[in-house]
C-alpha cells in the first residue's frame, strides 16, 4: 500500500484565512470567539460565536458566480484553492480525471435555508430564489470545488455531523493509500451561524454564554463556529518526486459507532475508534505523543473523552499531551475535524503542541495533561486527531512526522 502525505493546507477560519495566521493564533491561544455580527441577535440568549470576520466573497468570486454560492461553498472553494497552491500542485487534464474531491459537511447551505424560510414565513413571499436548491444542498460545496478546479475523479460529500470533516479526510486517505486515486483534495466546511440554526442549538442548552473552556472545571458549554480547511493528500513517492512540501504523513484511520445515546459520548465507543486508528497505523499507544481532542467544552463530552483516552491509551495516557482547539476556533460542526486536522498536521510540522485556550481550573474528572493556555515545544513523532459526533459516530486519524 502507498504511504500518504499532506502536501497542501488551506484554511478559512475565525483566526485567519492562511495557515500562518491560523497557526500563530493557535499557539498564542488567541481566541476567535466574540460578539455575533451581521445577523440580528435580539432573539438569542447566547450572543457569541467564532465567526470568519475577514472574509469578503467579492475578492474571490465575480457577481455572477456568487449567485450560485452559499457561504459554506465559498469557504470550501477558497480553502481548496489555497491548498492546491500551497501544494504547488498542477492539475493537468490527465491528473484531473483521476483526482478525488471529498468534503465533509454537516448542515448544508444554512444561510440559504434561513433566508428562504424568512421570505416564506416572515415576509409571506410566494417566490424564492430559483437557485435555492443548488445553493443549499449539502453536496453543493464539493460540487463547486470540483467545478472550480476541474476535478473529474471520485467526488462526494460525507455527512456525519461533527465527525464529517474527519470521516472525509479518512475516506480520501484510504483511496490514495489503496491506489484508487493518486491525489485527493479533502477536508470540511461549515457556515451555519444563522438565526434559525443558533436558536436550534440554544434549544439543546449546550451553548456557553461567555466562551469555550475545554476540559476546565469552569467550562460552561460549546461555542458555535464556522470555516473550512482543505488538504492535498498524495502518495509520498509522488510528493518526493516532484519536490512538494510535506507537512505530515497520514498513518491510520479508525471509525466506530456508539449505538447508544443520540447526544452523549460513549467512552467505550470513542476508545474503539482510537484503538482502530492505532491498529491501522501499525503503532502502539505509547508511540503517540500528542492528541488534538474533540474537546467541545461541555460537561459530558470532556469528561467522557477523558475516560475514552484512558481506556484507549491505558498507562500511556499519563504521559500524553492533549489539547482542544475549540477554545480558539469554536465548534464548526462539519468543518471542526478538518480545522483540527490542520492544527495537528501543523503541530507535527512545527514540533509544537498548541495549548487548550481559556483553561481556568483543573477538573478531577478531566485529569490528563491538557497543555493549559501556553504552547509547548516538544518532540512529536506521532499525533492523533479525534472527532465524536452526535449520533455516536466516531472518527479518528493518526499522523506521523514527515
Phi, psi for residue 235 in degrees, rounded to 5: -65, 145
33 forms beta bridges with 50
Question: Has 19 been annotated as catalytic?
Answer: no
First to last CA, the chain: 17
Residue 395 vs residues 35, 204, 392: alpha-carbon distances, Å: 31, 23, 10
Question: Has 60 been annotated as catalytic?
Answer: no
d(C-alpha 113, C-alpha 334), whole Å: 17
186 forms beta bridges with 102, 231
d(C-alpha 340, C-alpha 192), whole Å: 18
Locate 106 and state its grid cell.
Answer: 454537516
- The three state secondary structure string of 261-298 is CCCCCCHHHHHHHHHHHHHHHCCCHHHCCEEEECCCCC
Using left for φ > 0, alpha for ψ between -120 and 50, and beta otherwise, residue 151 falls in: beta
Q: Which of 19, 192, 212, 331 is catalytic?
A: 331
Q: Which of 19, 167, 294, 349 is catalytic?
A: 294
Question: Has 294 been annotated as catalytic?
Answer: yes
Asked if 292 contacts 351 with a C-beta cutoff of 8 angstroms, the reply is: no
Q: Which of 162, 192, 212, 366 is catalytic?
A: 162
d(C-alpha 55, C-alpha 400), whole Å: 32
Catalytic residues, by residue number, are 162, 294, 331
Amino acid at each position: 500500500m502507498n504511504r500518504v502525505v499532506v502536501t497542501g493546507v488551506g484554511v478559512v477560519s475565525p483566526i485567519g484565512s492562511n495557515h500562518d495566521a491560523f497557526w500563530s493564533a493557535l499557539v498564542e491561544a488567541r481566541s476567535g470567539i466574540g460578539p455575533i455580527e451581521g445577523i440580528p441577535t435580539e432573539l438569542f440568549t447566547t450572543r457569541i460565536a467564532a465567526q470568519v470576520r475577514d472574509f469578503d466573497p467579492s475578492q474571490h468570486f465575480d457577481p455572477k458566480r456568487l449567485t450560485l454560492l452559499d457561504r459554506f461553498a465559498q469557504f470550501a472553494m477558497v480553502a481548496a484553492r489555497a491548498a492546491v497552491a500551497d501544494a504547488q500542485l498542477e492539475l493537468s487534464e490527465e491528473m484531473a480525471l483521476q483526482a478525488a474531491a471529498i468534503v465533509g459537511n454537516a448542515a448544508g447551505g444554512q444561510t440559504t435555508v434561513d433566508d428562504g424560510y424568512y421570505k416564506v414565513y416572515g415576509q409571506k413571499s410566494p417566490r424564492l430564489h430559483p437557485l435555492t436548491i443548488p445553493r443549499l444542498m449539502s453536496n453543493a460545496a464539493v460540487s463547486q470545488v470540483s467545478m472550480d478546479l476541474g476535478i473529474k475523479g471520485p467526488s462526494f460529500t460525507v455527512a456525519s455531523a461533527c465527525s464529517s470533516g474527519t470521516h472525509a479526510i479518512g475516506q480520501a486517505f484510504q483511496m490514495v493509500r489503496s491506489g484508487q486515486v493518486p491525489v485527493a483534495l479533502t477536508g470540511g466546511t461549515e457556515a451555519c451561524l444563522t438565526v434559525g440554526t443558533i436558536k436550534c442549538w440554544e434549544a439543546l442548552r449546550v451553548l456557553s454564554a461567555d466562551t469555550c473552556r475545554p476540559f476546565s472545571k469552569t467550562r460552561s458549554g460549546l461555542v458555535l463556529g464556522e470555516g473550512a480547511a482543505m488538504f492535498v493528500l498524495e502518495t509520498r513517492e509522488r510528493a518526493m518526486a516532484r519536490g512538494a512540501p510535506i507537512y505530515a504523513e497520514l498513518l491510520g484511520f479508525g471509525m466506530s459507532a456508539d449505538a447508544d445515546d443520540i447526544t452523549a459520548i460513549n467512552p467505550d465507543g470513542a476508545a474503539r475508534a482510537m484503538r482502530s486508528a492505532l491498529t491501522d497505523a501499525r503503532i502502539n499507544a505509547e508511540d503517540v505523543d500528542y492528541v488534538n481532542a474533540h474537546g467541545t467544552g461541555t460537561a459530558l463530552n470532556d469528561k467522557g473523552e477523558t475516560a475514552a483516552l484512558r481506556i484507549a491509551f491505558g498507562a500511556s495516557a499519563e504521559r500524553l499531551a492533549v489539547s482542544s482547539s475549540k477554545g480558539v476556533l469554536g465548534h464548526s460542526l462539519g468543518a471542526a475535524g478538518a480545522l483540527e486536522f490542520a492544527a495537528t498536521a501543523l503541530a507535527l510540522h512545527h514540533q509544537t503542541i498548541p495549548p487548550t485556550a481559556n483553561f481556568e481550573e483543573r477538573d478531577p474528572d478531566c485529569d490528563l495533561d491538557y497543555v493549559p493556555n501556553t504552547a509547548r515545544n516538544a518532540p512529536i513523532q506521532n499525533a492523533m486527531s479525534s472527532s465524536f459526533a452526535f449520533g455516536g459516530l466516531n472518527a479518528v486519524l493518526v499522523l506521523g512526522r514527515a
